[in-house]
Structure 1
Amino acid sequence: MDTTCAGGCGKQGEHRCSGCKQAHYCSAECQKNLEGYASKSALVSSSLKDTYRIKDWQTHKKTCLPPLPRPRTTHCTGCQVRFSPNNDMEKQEANLICPDCGYVACSNCACHNRRGTCYCQDSNFGHKYCGRVPEWYHFSQRTGRPYSGSNHPDHEDAKMHKVPESVWETEPRQCGNCEELKVCLTPGFRCQYWMCQ
């Protein structure tokens, strides 16, 4: 997970957003300064990166939600069907409990290879989106926001999905999601790929 300050100062964010626990900030002052800059757009002229970060902060402030309490494991979180009380194997057989958010899916709500969509923003039932070819259903069911991080799928998987060689970056870089050093797809590829489908 990227712990760089959401304020764009380049420092490591030691503090987290109290609402969602996902955005990182280096200090309360940095967060307050961003709030002030965001309301005074005339002061924002230092660089496009800073402008993007402030817009990103405004978006985060509007869409920030506290994490949900973990769902009960006696019912499917998607359709609310109750699992038989004496048969826990029903949900354990297919391993349909997300280890991160606790989302539970029954066999009807779990799709082959997609396995439904849990509440996590950057993964689905513990499988990170960054290691997959981008798909339209890679989003958080809770917020409705699509995954917007790096993608570095296996080359065989990319060939199967007809990902052209021209959309790969030339140099490996650190993935913002899994923090591994990988050759990633170019950031604009996601939109191009979906329009071609």
Structure 2
Amino acid sequence: MVIFTLAAIFMPDPPPPLDDDRCGYAFCEVCTAEAPYACSACKTTRYCSSRCQNAGWRNHQRECKIHQKLHEMDVRIAMTRPKRPPEGICTGCNAQVGEGRRLAMCRECGYQACGSCESHHSRGTCYCPNANFGKRYCQMEPRWYHSNGRGRSYAGDRHPDPDALGGRPYPSDVYEPAPRACDSCGTVTRVFKKEYRDPWVWH
């Protein structure tokens, strides 16, 4: 029994694999370098490489399960559809809008935004997971603020129309080889490869 206990202390379980998670500027838990990877178990602790993950695993192993539970709670909250907001009150800043002022309203989820909140990157985001005030994310270039307004980022297919966006055609290597149905709107078209759905590619 003592031997097994000592083995558990001095030979901890191997760390889980790393997930590629380029969600902005994050720093490695061990060396503070830029960290494009996250622990695949807790989705929270960031590393620059598997070498640093191995070096910091003994310390992280103790807190990994706690981070897992917290991450699960965050995901559950983000996926829960909130109650339809009361009409006549800005959902973004909670200001009551009187006569002569308008509120933009999403027909699907009922989110309302006054003029200043409508142009804000977070308060102007409605609760719909795949669109914002009727504009579908799959038809837009990836942006970091494309979310359901509750911390859940959009991760579905992308097939923006370069002509509608007033830009040049995208290179052919940006797209998957064959057309298929978009997992968001169902349109059969050529969609972006997974690596080009990353919003930081388009900065």
Work out whether the TM-score is over 0.5: yes
Tell me the TM-score normalised to structure 1 length: 0.58
Identify if the C-alpha distance between structure 1 residues 133 and 147 changes in structure 2 by more than 3 Å, giving closer, same or farther.
Answer: same
Match of 1:178 among 185, 191, 203: 185
Match of 1:169 among 151, 157, 176: 176
Match of 1:152 among 159, 180, 184: 159
Partners of 1:176 and 1:60 lie apart in 2 by 25
Correspondence 1:94-105 to 2 at 5 A? 96-105=104-113
2:124 matched to 1:116? yes
Partners of 1:188 and 1:127 lie apart in 2 by 23
Match of 2:101 among 75, 80, 90: 90
Deviation at 1:180, TM superposition (A): 1.2
Partners of 2:196 and 2:145 lie apart in 1 by 16
Tell me the number of residue pairs that the alignment of Structure 1 and Structure 2 aligns: 132
Partners of 1:114 and 1:159 lie apart in 2 by 25
Identify if the C-alpha distance between structure 1 residues 119 and 153 changes in structure 2 by more than 3 Å, giving closer, same or farther.
Answer: same
Partners of 1:60 and 1:186 lie apart in 2 by 27
**Matched position secondary structure for 2:81:** coil
Partner in structure 1 of residue 138 of structure 2 = 130
Structure 1 residues not aligned, in runs of 5+: 1-57
Give the stretch that moved more between structures: 126-135 or 60-69. Answer: 60-69
Tell me the TM-score normalised to structure 2 length: 0.56
Match of 1:194 among 192, 195, 200: 200
Identify if the C-alpha distance between structure 1 residues 196 and 130 changes in structure 2 by more than 3 Å, giving closer, same or farther.
Answer: closer
Identity of aligned residues (%): 36
Deviation at 1:129, TM superposition (A): 0.6
C-alpha root-mean-square deviation of aligned residues, in Å?
3.1
Deviation at 1:156, TM superposition (A): 2.2
**Matched position secondary structure for 1:91:** coil
Partner in structure 2 of residue 74 of structure 1 = 88
Deviation at 1:151, TM superposition (A): 0.4
Match of 1:64 among 56, 71, 76: 76
Identify if the C-alpha distance between structure 1 residues 97 and 158 changes in structure 2 by more than 3 Å, giving closer, same or farther.
Answer: closer
1:194 maps to a residue whose letter is: W
Partners of 2:189 and 2:76 lie apart in 1 by 30
Match of 1:141 among 133, 141, 149: 149
Partners of 1:171 and 1:183 lie apart in 2 by 6
**1:128-180 deviations in whole A, cap 9, x for unaligned?**
111111111111112x1210000010032567288543211221100111111
